[in-house]
Amino acid sequence: MKSLEELTRPNIWRLKPYSSARDEYKGLSASVFLDANENPYNLPHNRYPDPMQWELKAELSKIKKVAPENIFLGNGSDEAIDLVFRAFCEPGRDNVVAIDPTYGMYQVCADVNDVEYRKVLLDEHFQFSADKLLAAADERTKLIFLCSPNNPTGNDLLRGEIEKVLNTFAGLVILDEAYNDFSDAPSFLQQLEQYPNLIVLQTFSKAWGCAAIRLGMAFASTDIISILSKIKYPYNVNQLTQKQAMEMLHKYYEIERWVKNLKEERDELVGRFSELPLTIKVFPSDANFFLARVTDAVRIYNYLVGEGIIVRNRHTVSLCGNCLRVTVGTRVENDKLMEALGKYEEKYFHS
C-alpha cells in the first residue's frame, strides 16, 4: 500500500478542520453552556449534538467488535462514499475502479466529483477476477469499489478474490457490506488490522430497519477515519438519529430475529418464484432481495405497477437484461406478489 499521505489529496492532507464549540469544550462537568449561541429553551432539541457521536460509537463498538476510533458515522453510507472521493481523488486527474454491475451511487459520486470511473464487467456467475480488476488500475487509481453481497445481483463476491485485491492493490479498497447481515459469509470487519487499505461500509438502512434515520457506518484504520472525520460536516449525524440508533442498539435481538425471518422468507419466495412459467432464472441470493430473469421484464414490471406492486426493473443494467430485482417483504406482501404474478400467467400464457 502507498502511504496515506500519497493517497490523500494534498489540500485535504493539509486541512485544518473547522472546530465547533462542541469540539472545543468536551468536559462533562460544566452546567452552564453559553458557548454555541444555542437557544436555552426547547430542551432537548436546542443543543447541538455530539459531532463525533462517541456514545453511539461506544455502543456500536460492542456489537461490531471494532474500536470506536475505527468507526465513522455518516448521513447514510452515501455520505461515506462521497467523502472517500473528496478525500482521496483529485478531480480531473485520479480514477477509481469498480465491478459492473453494482450499486449506482459509486458512479454518481465519481461523476459529481469529476473522477474517472472505470468499470470491469463481472462474469456470467456475477463473480469478478482480482487480476482483471487490477489490470484496469494504474498509477492514478486511488480507490477500488467492491460490494458483497453485491447489488443488484444479490450474491457474495469470492472471498479469495477480495483478499487478493486487498493484498495487491496500492490504493484503498472500499468493501460495501450493506447486505452482509443476510449472508452466511463472515464480514471483513475483523480483518481491518490485517489490511490497512480496507474501508468496510455498513448501514442502518437494511437489516437494522432504519432507512429513514439515514445512518451509515464506515470502518477503517484510525488514520483513514481521522481524515473522513476531518472533512465531514461538523454535525453530520443529527440528535434524533443518534437517539434512535441507540434505541436500536439496545434491542439488537430484534434485528437478529428480523434477519433470521427474512432469510427464511427469501428462500421460500425464491423457491416459489422459480416455479413461475414467466421465470427464466432466479439468481442465488445472499441478501434480502433477489435478481430474477423473466420472459419480459418491462411488461411484467408495468403489469405489477398496475397491481400496486413495485419491484425494481433492472433491464437496462449490464448483464441484467430482462431482470427484475425483488426485495423480500413480509409473508403477506410476498403472497400478494405471487398472487399477482399468478394472474399474469393466466392473462398472457393461456390466452
Ligand X SMILES: *Cc1c(COP(=O)(O)O)cnc(C)c1O
Q: Which residues contribute to the site for ligand X (CB under 6 A)?
A: 76-78, 103, 147, 151, 176, 178, 203, 205-206, 211, 216
Task: Please state, in angstroms and rounded to a whole number, the distance separating the CA atoms of residues 211 and 327.
Answer: 14
262: CB partners within 8 A, 6+ apart: 182, 288, 328
Least separation in angstroms between CB 106 and ligand X: 9
Which is closer to ligand X, CB of 205 or CB of 229? 205
Least separation in angstroms between CB 299 and ligand X: 26
Which is closer to ligand X, CB of 13 or CB of 258? 258
27: CB partners within 8 A, 6+ apart: none
Least separation in angstroms between CB 143 and ligand X: 15
Contact 185, 158 (CB under 8 A): no
Task: Please state, in angstroms and rounded to a whole number, the distance separating the CA atoms of residues 308 and 261.
Answer: 24
Please identify which residue in the block is written with the cell numbers 454491475.
101
Contact 286, 156 (CB under 8 A): yes
Task: Please state, in angstroms and rounded to a whole number, the distance separating the CA atoms of residues 10 and 8.
Answer: 6
Q: Return the C-alpha cell found at 20.
A: 465547533
Q: Return the C-alpha cell found at 49.
A: 449534538
Least separation in angstroms between CB 307 and ligand X: 25
Least separation in angstroms between CB 147 and ligand X: 5
Sign of the alpha-carbon dihedral angle for 241, 243, 244, 247: positive
Strand ranges of the sheet holding 95-100, from the earlier edge strand across to the other edge = 71-74, 216-219, 198-203, 172-176, 141-147, 95-100, 116-121
Task: Please state, in angstroms and rounded to a whole number, the distance separating the CA atoms of residues 180 and 146.
Answer: 13
Which is closer to ligand X, CB of 288 or CB of 334? 288
Which is closer to ligand X, CB of 208 or CB of 344? 208
Least separation in angstroms between CB 43 and ligand X: 30
Select the residue whose beta carbon is closest to ligand X and give its number.
Answer: 76
Which is closer to ligand X, CB of 51 or CB of 216? 216
DSSP secondary structure code for residue 211 in this structure: G
Least separation in angstroms between CB 54 and ligand X: 21
Least separation in angstroms between CB 178 and ligand X: 4
Which is closer to ligand X, CB of 4 or CB of 122? 122
Which is closer to ligand X, CB of 299 or CB of 312? 312
Least separation in angstroms between CB 176 and ligand X: 5
Give the ranges where 113-221 is alpha helix by DSSP (H): 130-135, 159-168
Contact 345, 278 (CB under 8 A): yes
Which is closer to ligand X, CB of 78 or CB of 161? 78
Closest CA to 341 of 285, 291, 303: 303
One DSSP character per residue, 176-220 reads E-TTGGGSSSPPSGGGTTT-TTEEEEEESSSTTS-GGG--EEEE-
Which is closer to ligand X, CB of 137 or CB of 237? 237
Contact 144, 137 (CB under 8 A): yes
Q: Return the C-alpha cell found at 351.
A: 390466452
